[in-house]
Amino acid sequence: MQISHHKVAGAAQFGWSRRTLAKIDSARTAGMDVSLDVYPYTAFSTVSDVLLPAWALAGGDSAFAARIANRGTRDRIETEMQRIFPEQAGAGLASVQFREVPSNPEYSGKTLADFVRARGHAPTIASGVRAVIELQLHGGFTAIYHSMDEPDVERILRHASTMIDSDGDLVGLGVGWPHPRSYGAFPRVLARYVRERRVLTLEEAIRKMTSMPARQIGQRDRGLVRAGMFADVVVFDAERIRDVATYTDPHHFAVGVIHVLVNGVAVIDRGAVTGAIPGRALTSVPRPGRVTH
């Protein structure tokens, strides 16, 4: 079993990674094949649906609109959203940073607090709930939710069964408003959590990024530098590598990457993109007794 993008979100749950990791340890002690992955940020990204009760969205957009048109049902939805909001939106409306808003594209990069203030309202949870309903009726949005705590991220990173992922999108340079993880997840680990904060050793971090995930998905001829293996290799300056992309200015490549080989072909050479595209999609090779989802 792979617990994907393991996180603890919402201030009321901060610190709960101690509990979740203890449960994972118990399961592994009992003989279960359980592992997890994490990305090195205190904000996640997803659609606006997470701010609404699932039953309110059942049946699609027209069914949601019909429920909102019913005063009693809308009141119930708003009440439940008042509970959901602190769990997903962290400290308040400023914690919800828009990535894409089809009905109001000018709000990309701005926050739900900005949206509410522009309409003459104080950025309260109640006004945020009403704004989310309005936006959901017009196509919804994707956002970055700043609602996680650094100690939980570090605790999960340290765990022996944790692998490192980005959960990032494939984005064009300058296109849209991506989460900075799309540009900087792995360099961020090497800079922040290895070099600066010493949460991991360099060797631990590299293993969590390479051989460990390759082995987890059954790719036994990848993930290590060894004769007979596919030559997927990154050469970087350990003292200089760092992420540059931020939440407010996301379209920046990391620095400190010198060479990248994919299947033995250079795709970055002396820091410059070569234009070669030798990569191919890899699929998981299930192992006996392993649950995938």
Cα–Cα distance, 16 to 154 (Å, whole number): 13
- Report whether pLDDT(192) > 80: yes
Give one DSSP letter per residue of 251-287, joined into a string: ----B-EEEEEETTEEEEETTEE------------PP
pLDDT in tens, 59-114: 999 999 999 999 999 999 999 999 999 888 877 999 999 999 999 999 999 999 99
Looking at residue 293, its pLDDT comes to: 44
pLDDT single digits (tens) 166-188: 999 999 999 999 999 999 999 99
Residue-wise pLDDT for 203-218, tens only, equals: 999 999 999 999 999 9
Distances (CA, A) of 181 to 110, 131, 151: 18, 27, 19
Which is nearest to 54 in space by CA: 64, 69, 46, 45? Answer: 64
Of the pLDDT bands very low, low, confident and very high (cuts 50, 70, 90), residue 284 is: confident
| Token reading at 11 | 């201030």
CA distance 248 to 20: 31
* pLDDT at residue 290 is higher than 60: no
- Specify the long-range contacts of residues 258-266, CB closer than 8 Å, at least 24 apart: 259/233, 259/234, 259/235, 260/233, 260/234, 260/235, 261/231, 261/232, 261/233, 261/234, 262/232, 263/230, 263/231, 263/232, 264/230, 264/231
Tokens describing residue 197:
């904060």
Percent of the chain with pLDDT over 90: 92
| Separation between Cα atoms, residue 146 and residue 91, nearest integer Å | 8
Determine what percent of the chain is predicted with pLDDT higher than 70: 97
**Residue 144 CB neighbour total at 10 angstroms:** 24
List 235's β-bridge partners, or say none.
Answer: 259
Residue 31 in this model has a pLDDT that exceeds 50: yes
Average pLDDT rounded to a whole number, residues 127-152: 98
Token pair for 162: 């944790």
- Residues 246 and 243: their CA atoms lie apart, in Å, by 8
Confidence of residue 292 (pLDDT cuts 50, 70, 90): very low
- CA distance linking residue 267 with residue 272, whole number of Å: 8
Rounded to an integer, what distance in angstroms lies between the CA atom of residue 274 and that of residue 174? 19
**What pLDDT sits at residue 283?**
86
CB 162 within 8 A of CB 208: yes
**pLDDT tens track for 268-279:** 999 999 999 999
Two structure tokens written together for 204 = 């631990």
Tokens of 54: 């699932």
Q: What is the pLDDT of residues 241-252, one digit of tens each?
A: 999 999 999 999
Q: Mind listing the domains of the chain with CATH numbers?
A: 2-42+148-273 (3.20.20.140), 45-145 (no CATH)
Arithmetic mean of pLDDT over the chain: 95
Mean pLDDT of 150-178: 96
pTM reported for the whole predicted model: 0.92
* CA quadruple 225, 154, 85, 182: dihedral, nearest 10: -30
269: left (phi over 0), alpha (psi -120 to 50) or beta: beta
